[in-house]
Amino acid sequence: MNRHALLSCRLRINGASHDVEDVHFGDTLLEVLRDRLGLVGTKQGCEDGQCGACTVLIDGQPVNSCLELAAETVGREIVTIEGYNRRDGSLTPLQEALVRQAAIQCGFCIPGIVLAAESLLAERPDATEDDIRTEMDGNLCRCTGYSSILAAILEVAETRRGS
């Protein structure tokens, strides 16, 4: 393949179709989301799959969008923080819990944390503290020491179990 070959992709993002022209086959989903589509809620932290700041959901699974080639995601359902947010501006129970537990300092890790945690809670409604520690190991936070983030996710898990 010509290393400068450009593609056109139709991506399904947040329930809508986006035609993106002139995508290089090596462009990551993160680059396309942020630089081409202006969906900057997905954060660039390390471009190395280490920090989870760029987490998006692809077919419901959390994925580091810095490691995913945009061209590979054609035909799959992508959800970013913009698509996860409630349209009316109100917060989801997980977002409310993060605010209540003072889990937001600089906030750069938070969009990735929200999506990773929501997918964990969907998959493991019975998640214990040890489960959350294990499953959230791919999302770095440098500000909080994690205890407030852990408390928020646990609070949502327990509320859901109780109801």
Partner 1 sequence: MAPDPRSGGSATGVGASIVRPDAIAKVRGEFEFATDLRAAGMLWGATLRSPHPLARILKVDLTPARRIPGVRAVLGAWDVPVNTFGAVDKDTPVLADDMVRYVGEPVAIVAAQSPALARQAIDAIVVTYEPMRPVTDALEALAAGHVYRHVSMTHGDPDVVGEVQAEGEYLTPRQDHSFLAPDAGLARPDGRDGVEVIGASQWVHADREQIAACLALPEEKVLVVNSGIGGSFGGRVSMTWQVHGALLALHTGRPVKFVYSRHETFLARYHRHPSRIWLRHHANRDGTLVKLEARILLEDGPYSHTAAAGIGNSCSLIQGPYNVPNASIEGWAVATNNGMCGSMRGFGVVEPIFACESNMDRLARTLGIDGAELRRRNLIRSGDTWTFRQVQDRPAPVSELVDLCQAMALPPAPSADRPMSARVALPGGVATPTRPRHVRRGIGLAAAVKNTCFSEGCPVNSTALLTLHNGIATVDCAAAEVGQGFVAVAIQVVQSTLGVNEVRVAACDTGMPPAASTDAQQQTITSGPAIHLAAARLKERFLQFFGREHGLDAATLDIRDDFVVSRQGGRLASVAEAGMGLVFRATERFDQRTTRPVDDPHATEPVHVALSFSANRCVLDVDVELGLVRVVQMDVVQDAGRVANPALALGQVTGGSLMGLGFALSESLEYRDGRPVNGNWRDYRLPRMADAPVVNCRFVERPVPGIPFGFNGIGEMPHVQAPAAILSALRDATGLDLPAAPATAGRIALTGSDAVPMRLSDSALEAFKGPGRARIGKFLRFQRVER
Interatomic CA distance for residues 150 and 145, integer angstroms: 10
Is 42 near partner 1 (CB under 8 A)? yes
Is 51 near partner 1 (CB under 8 A)? yes
Is 156 near partner 1 (CB under 8 A)? no
Paired tokens of 158: 């327990």
120 and 127 Cβ atoms separated by less than 8 Å: yes
Is 5 near partner 1 (CB under 8 A)? no
Interatomic CA distance for residues 107 and 110, integer angstroms: 5
Is 64 near partner 1 (CB under 8 A)? no
11 and 73 Cβ atoms separated by less than 8 Å: yes
**Which of 21, 48 has the CB closer to partner 1?**
48
Residues 76-95 that bind partner 1 (CB under 8 A): 80-82, 85, 89, 91, 95
Interatomic CA distance for residues 105 and 78, integer angstroms: 27
Q: Which residues of this protein are in contact with partner 1, per CB under 8 A? A: 24, 31, 34-35, 38, 40-48, 50-51, 53, 80-82, 85, 89, 91, 95, 98-102, 104-111, 114, 130, 132-134, 136-151
